[in-house]
């Protein structure tokens, strides 16, 4: 996830900024960033301040010889010396079109200067620079960005469908509009407004070409591409409205067949339907207000005396429509890269230590994996084998290791191993220095399918599995299928329980298993499914809880019988499906089918102490109000979360136990 933080004021020394989440290995041109900053400040309608600003950008961290390191990108953009003294004058003649009054009320001030400084549109220099970094990464992936003035004052271009050549050509005009006649008329409109002491609003059109179909999410409110883009673009101070394509004049687009592909022949929707990109260019219109500060004198109220006075004036742009377009281009790139990174946190490639080696990198693994992969050196920490790694004792030793090496916030922890190593190292990474960078490299089928994706970290506590943990997603999960070749057969098989769980949840995965699909195809399908669920509900509030299918009873069996996790999940699936049948959540036929499949592929426990299993289930972290949470399959690739008290679950388990050798007809 990309995170941008900045500090600075309009008339201070400048702006310090930190951009977290930019992946490593991308070449970034400072000159290209400066060009976007230049485009932001030029234009017929801009004020004299823009002539004094040079918008230099100084990188302090995160770039090594012009290539991103994966660490936080820190940079500084100085303000021009000539304007530094302006920030000392108090403002009491508040301006209705700025944040003055609301900010003073919020902060209890009688001087709007602090609000003016921090809420200034000068902040957008940071937005533009951060977006320009993201833009370069996306341009390497074939995306391109444009903007133009669609309307300024009373002048509006009648044409709407411009090709990229026309858009590039418009950069050479004094007003950036692909329609030459409209561009000249807009220029005259701006000059006339300047002479009158007025300001002008209008509309900017922002475009992105090359975004793949399906970017975004239709099931999640926050994940809808339209929601994300509107929120980001509306953060530009002068923007008062955002719409896609033809906006209120929209009517359904026309589809066409192109070979075996169905495409959108028209783009009245602006490239976004149902919260996702549709393969056409993203086309967004931004309504831009007239700049509230005008040379023409007007009256307001003094915040101290409450008397009528002349409105405060320093400098003012006449029209910022073109500048808003440039800022929006780069913010659009920022949000699209964030969306793409979230949807592609898993990469499939061969593991090589040199991919991550660096003075701030620490590898967390175990002795067996270290020996197989040649992970040796002062920056390698080995956890104990298996579940023993997930103890506070082991995590404490790792934290001491990090501290002794002088590790800090810029440390990268690379967890190379099975689920236990990933859980323990991930937990340590989430709490050391309140969170350092994390990469997961799973080496078992189980960890590829389960623990390495989604951000759940955990240690066992007081005899309860995964009792303490955090949600701390790795910035990348690297899946290398060749690592499975190092495994003994028992570990290679252990992940099959999780595979069968996914078959309960997704029709496509169920079909692939029935067809004996290649393991790589299965793993990729499972990870794609899990990534989508996690992106919608990372905090495990509702939808993600379905991934706990088989795990409530599974974890209890795992603890009671010291089973491998995959086998325990298979047993959990077996008994939770049987309980679902008892409660008429799934059909007898579904239970009969799953019973046969699970018995054929796994050793199912038939003798157990119901009270012990219930006691272990009572410690499960998913429980609410001392009621045990079971995710029970409905037989239609869905689940129903069911809460049972200890007595109810005990009775159902007894019923399972009594019928352990019987046929399906007796069960119902």
Which of 476, 493, 510 is a domain's end point?
493
Statement: residue 667 has pLDDT above 50: no
Q: 212 and 349, same structural domain?
A: no
Average pLDDT (154-180) is 94
Among 319, 334, 333, 326, which residue's Cα sits nearest to residue 35?
A: 326
Q: What pLDDT sits at residue 395?
A: 98
Q: How far apart are CA 278 and CA 214, in angstroms?
A: 6
**Residue position matching structure tokens 């029935």:** 514
Q: What pLDDT sits at residue 158?
A: 84
Q: How far is CA 423 from the centre of its chain?
A: 21
Q: 528 and 444, same structural domain?
A: no
pLDDT confidence tier of residue 236, bands split at 50, 70 and 90: very high
Which residues lie closer than 8 Å to 382 by C-beta, 6 or more apart? Answer: 365, 366, 367, 370
Q: 349 and 336, same structural domain?
A: no
pLDDT confidence tier of residue 138, bands split at 50, 70 and 90: very high
Q: How far apart are CA 497 and CA 617, in angstroms?
A: 19
Cβ 492 vs Cβ 568: under 8 Å = no
Q: What pLDDT sits at residue 659?
A: 63
Percent of the chain with pLDDT over 70: 96
Q: What pLDDT sits at residue 663?
A: 38
Average pLDDT (152-156) is 97
**What is the domain count for the chain?**
3
pLDDT per position as a tens digit, 300-330: 999 999 999 988 777 779 999 999 999 999 9
Q: 279 and 382, same structural domain?
A: no
Q: 654 and 575, same structural domain?
A: yes
Distance in Å from the first CA to the final CA of the chain: 49
Q: What pLDDT sits at residue 665?
A: 35
Q: 356 and 326, same structural domain?
A: no
Strand pairing class (361-366; 412-417): parallel
Q: How far apart are CA 621 and CA 532, in angstroms?
A: 23
Mean pLDDT, the chain, rounded, equals 92
Cβ 279 vs Cβ 86: under 8 Å = no
Q: How far apart are CA 301 and CA 133, in angstroms?
A: 42
Q: 507 and 465, same structural domain?
A: no
Average pLDDT (41-63) is 88
CB-side exposure of 300: number of CA atoms within 13 Å?
Answer: 23
pLDDT confidence tier of residue 292, bands split at 50, 70 and 90: confident
CATH code, domain carrying 202: 3.60.150.10
Which of 323, 343, 363 is a domain's end point?
343
Q: What pLDDT sits at residue 661?
A: 54
Statement: residue 668 has pLDDT above 70: no
Statement: residue 464 has pLDDT above 90: no
CATH code, domain carrying 444: 3.40.50.1970
Backbone angles phi, psi at 437, to 5 degrees: -65, 150
Supply the range of the domain harboring residue 222: 3-343
Q: 395 and 330, same structural domain?
A: no
Q: 576 and 609, same structural domain?
A: yes
Average pLDDT (648-655) is 96
Q: 517 and 480, same structural domain?
A: no
Q: 443 and 499, same structural domain?
A: no
Structure tokens at 10: 């309009």
Q: 531 and 418, same structural domain?
A: no
Q: How far apart are CA 148 and CA 557, in angstroms?
A: 63
Statement: residue 87 has pLDDT above 60: no
Q: What pLDDT sits at residue 237?
A: 94
Q: What pLDDT sits at residue 311?
A: 83
Q: Which residue has the higher pLDDT, 659 or 336?
A: 336
Which of 292, 317, 343 is a domain's end point?
343
Q: What pLDDT sits at residue 84?
A: 44
CATH code, domain carrying 582: 1.20.1090.10
């Amino acid at each position: 996830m990309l995170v941008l933080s900045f500090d600075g004021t309009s008339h201070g020394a400048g702006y310090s900024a930190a951009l977290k989440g930019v992946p490593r290995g991308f070449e970034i041109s400072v000159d290209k960033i400066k060009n976007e900053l230049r485009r932001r400040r030029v234009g017929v309608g801009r004020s004299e301040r823009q002539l004094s600003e040079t918008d230099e950008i100084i990188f302090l961290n995160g770039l090594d010889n012009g290539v991103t390191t994966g660490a936080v990108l820190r940079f500084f953009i100085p303000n021009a010396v000539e304007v530094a003294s302006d920030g000392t004058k108090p403002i009491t003649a508040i301006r209705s079109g700025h944040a003055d009054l609301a900010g003073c009320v919020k902060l209890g001030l009688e001087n709007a200067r602090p609000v003016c400084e921090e809420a200034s549109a000068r902040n957008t220099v940071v937005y533009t620079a951060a977006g320009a970094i993201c833009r370069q990464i996306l341009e390497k992936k074939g995306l391109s960005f444009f903007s133009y003035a669609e309307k300024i004052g009373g002048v509006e271009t009648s044409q709407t469908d411009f090709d990229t050549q026309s858009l590039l050509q418009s950069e050479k005009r004094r007003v950036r509009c692909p329609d030459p006649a409209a561009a000249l008329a807009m220029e005259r409109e701006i000059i006339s407004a300047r002479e009158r002491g007025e300001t002008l609003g209008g509309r900017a059109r922002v475009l992105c070409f090359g975004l793949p179909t399906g970017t975004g999410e239709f099931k999640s409110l926050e994940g809808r591409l339209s929601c994300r883009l509107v929120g980001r673009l509306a953060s530009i101070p002068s923007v008062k409205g955002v719409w896609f394509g033809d906006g209120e004049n929209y009517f359904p687009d026309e589809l066409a067949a192109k070979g075996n592909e169905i495409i959108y022949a028209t783009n009245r929707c602006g490239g976004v339907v149902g919260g996702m990109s549709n393969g056409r260019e993203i086309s967004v219109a931004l309504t831009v207000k007239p700049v509230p500060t005008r040379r023409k004198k007007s009256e307001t109220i003094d915040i101290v005396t409450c008397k009528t006075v002349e409105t405060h004036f320093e400098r003012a742009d006449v029209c910022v429509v073109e500048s808003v377009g440039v800022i929006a281009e780069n913010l659009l790139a920022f949000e699209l890269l964030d969306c793409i990174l979230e949807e592609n946190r898993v990469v499939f490639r061969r593991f090589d230590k040199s991919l991550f080696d660096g003075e701030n990198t620490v590898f967390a693994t175990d002795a067996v994996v270290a020996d197989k992969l040649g992970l040796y050196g002062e920056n390698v920490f080995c956890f104990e084998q298996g579940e023993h790694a997930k103890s506070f004792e082991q995590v404490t030793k790792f934290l001491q290791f990090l501290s002794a090496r002088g590790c800090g916030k810029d440390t990268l922890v690379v967890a190379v191993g099975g689920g236990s190593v990933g859980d323990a190292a991930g937990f340590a990474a989430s709490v050391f220095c309140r969170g350092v960078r994390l990469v997961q490299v799973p080496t078992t089928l189980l960890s590829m399918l389960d623990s390495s994706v989604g951000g759940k970290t955990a240690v066992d506590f007081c005899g309860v599995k995964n009792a303490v943990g955090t949600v701390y997603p790795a910035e990348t999960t690297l899946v290398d299928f060749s690592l499975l070749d190092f495994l003994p057969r028992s570990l290679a098989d252990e992940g099959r329980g999780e595979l069968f769980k996914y078959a309960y949840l997704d029709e496509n995965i169920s079909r692939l298993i029935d067809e004996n699909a290649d393991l790589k195809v299965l793993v990729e399908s499972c990870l794609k499914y899990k990534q989508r669920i996690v992106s919608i509900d990372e905090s495990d509030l509702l939808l993600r809880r379905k991934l706990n299918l088989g795990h409530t009873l599974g974890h209890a069996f795992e603890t009671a019988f010291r089973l491998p996790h995959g086998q325990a999940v298979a047993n959990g699936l077996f008994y939770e499906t049987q309980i679902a049948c008892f409660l008429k959540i799934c059909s007898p036929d579904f239970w009969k089918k799953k019973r046969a499949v699970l018995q054929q592929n796994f050793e199912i426990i038939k003798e157990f102490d119901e009270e012990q299993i219930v006691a272990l289930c009572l410690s499960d972290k998913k429980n609410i109000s001392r009621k045990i949470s079971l995710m029970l399959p409905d037989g239609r690739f869905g689940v129903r979360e069911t809460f049972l008290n200890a007595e109810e679950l005990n009775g159902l388990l007894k019923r399972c136990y009594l019928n352990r050798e019987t046929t399906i007809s007796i069960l119902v």
